[in-house]
Structures are given as structure tokens and as C-alpha cells.
Amino acid sequence: MDLPRHHTIREGDLRICNPFTPRKLATLGQVIKLRAGDTLLDLASGRGEMLCTWSRDHGVSGTGVDISTVSTDVARLRATEFGVADKVEFLHGDAGEFVAETPVDVAACIGATGIGGGVPGTVRLLERSLRPGGMLLVGEPFWRREPPDQETIEACHAERRDDWRDLTGLVTVFHELGWDLVEMVLADGDGWDRYAAAHWLNIRRWLDANPDDELAPAFREELTTDPLSYVRYRRNFLGWGVFALLKR
């Protein structure tokens, strides 16, 4: 069980695998008013940057679960680098059924609601690990503008228009599920660029070093088409944010 290799190559040395900059991640940690000693669960924790920086900066402890062995190893190294390896642990595994043994103060899934089959399923999954009164964090894309055609939809990594909601639709679904939206931090164009454009240099360097790899033709095609697709579609039509929720 592992994340397909092409993800790892594309994301290279990125620490945050979504359109958030380190500053946005720090802002989120501040605005949700973390307290020293708070416990966190991060499902699909990636390279562990959220848990590691928040443990260093706010004194929280917690567990991250991710299906990628590479990302789990990177996260463990980061914890050691930051001197928080005694406070955060990273488990390799499928987070789709993961429930914490001890209920946590904050349960998060940032950019991977597919693990619960979408936003409602992921909110229900996270809630199973949450103490009464605890906070959920959900990171999710949304339509900034209505996509005019199927080409735009697919360029935004969706199959159908309704694979993503617009921002109103996302807030509505949180409310319908019985949660108050109490904070949100949205990605901006700079954050999108740092995420998307970083992929291109990672791909180009990898292609130069691995011209005969079986993945090379697909990556060559991606590097030729993705920058145009990104500036034409994703950068204009797709938003992304992290939403903080408290149960009503």
C-alpha cells in the first residue's frame, strides 16, 4: 500500500502539498487559537508540515496518518529536525477508516477528502476521533467562478462540475451537516503558483535525470501542457481553503 510514484516525483521536496504557503499555514494555526497541550489528528498528513510546525510553535502534540511511505519518512525527519519527535508521530497507512484511540482536540483532513468519499463522509470520519466540543479542520477546493465547459472542469482535476462545490455550496454543506463554520483561511494566487509551478521544475529536473524511465513520456506531456492549462483554467477558476468547524 503506497502512493503511486508519480505523485512523489511531482511533489519533489515540497513540504506543503496543497496551495497553502508556510505563512498561510502559520496564520491558520494562529486564528484557530491553538493552546499548548492540545492534541491533533491529521488524516492524510503528507509531509507532516502542519503537525511539526504547530507543535514547534504552539506546543501541540498529535498523530498524522498517510498512505505514502516517502511522505511519512519525510514527516518523521522533520519532527526530529524541529525537536518535536517526542510530541508528534507519523503512521503509515490508509486513513480512510482511522479513528483515534483517545479523542482529540482538533481533527483535520487537509486536501484529501477523498479518504471519506467526499466532504460529508470525511466530516463524519473526523468526528469519530473528536472530543465533545473539539474542532474539525477541512481543506478543500471550490469553484471561484462557474466553469463554462467540460474542458475547464477537467483542467481543474474534476470529472463533473459537482465534484467541487462553490464557496457558498461548501459553507452550506458544513451547515447542513450540523457544524458552525468558525474560521477559514483561503489560498491566494501566490500560494497556487508556489504549489503548481513547483511541480514543473520538479518534473523537469526529474526528466533530465531519468529520460528512459517508463513515466518519462507522460511527464513530458504534462510539462508541455500543464503550465498553459494552469494559467488558463485552474488559476482562474479554482479556489482552495481550510475551514474550521465546531459542532452545533
CA pair distance 151, 137, nearest whole angstrom: 31
- Beta-bridged to residue 90, according to DSSP, are 64
Binding-residue pattern over the window 92 to 131 for ligand SAM, x denoting contact by CB under 6 A: --xxx-------------xxx--x----------------
Angle at 19 between CA 148 and CA 43, to 5 degrees: 110
CA pair distance 114, 127, nearest whole angstrom: 16
User: Contacting ligand SAM (CB under 6 A), which of 9, 34, 40, 44?
Assistant: 44
* Subset of residues 10 to 39 that bind ligand SAM, contact rule: CB under 6 A: 16-18
CA pair distance 86, 100, nearest whole angstrom: 18
Q: Are 45 and 64 in contact (CB under 8 A)?
A: yes
Q: Is 45 in the site for ligand SAM (CB under 6 A)?
A: yes
Of 120 and 220, nearer to ligand SAM (C-beta) is 120
Of 88 and 110, nearer to ligand SAM (C-beta) is 110
Identity of the amino acid at 176: E
- Closest approach, Cβ 92 to ligand SAM, in A, equals 9
Residues 6+ apart with CB under 8 A from 157: 141, 234, 238
CA pair distance 4, 11, nearest whole angstrom: 12
- Closest approach, Cβ 248 to ligand SAM, in A, equals 26
Of 5 and 175, nearer to ligand SAM (C-beta) is 5
Binding-residue pattern over the window 57 to 96 for ligand SAM, x denoting contact by CB under 6 A: --------xxxx--x----------------------xxx
- Closest approach, Cβ 149 to ligand SAM, in A, equals 26
Using the rule CB under 6 A, give the single segment among 43-51, 81-89, 154-162, 173-181 that binds ligand SAM. 43-51
User: Could you tell me the CA-to-CA distances from 65 to 37, 40, 136, 222, 248 in Å, in that order?
Assistant: 20, 11, 16, 29, 27
Of 137 and 153, nearer to ligand SAM (C-beta) is 137
Give, rounded to a whole angstrom, the gap between the first and last alpha carbons of the chain: 37
Of 22 and 37, nearer to ligand SAM (C-beta) is 22
Give the 3-state secondary structure of residue 191: helix
- Closest approach, Cβ 212 to ligand SAM, in A, equals 27
CA pair distance 31, 244, nearest whole angstrom: 10
- Closest approach, Cβ 174 to ligand SAM, in A, equals 19
- Closest approach, Cβ 194 to ligand SAM, in A, equals 12
Q: 3-state SS string over 10-21?
A: HHCCCCCCCCCC
Using CB positions, name the residue nearest to ligand SAM.
46
Read off φ and ψ for residue 176, nearest 5 degrees: -65, -30
Enumerate binding residues for ligand SAM (CB under 6 A): 3, 16-18, 44-46, 65-68, 71, 94-96, 110-112, 115
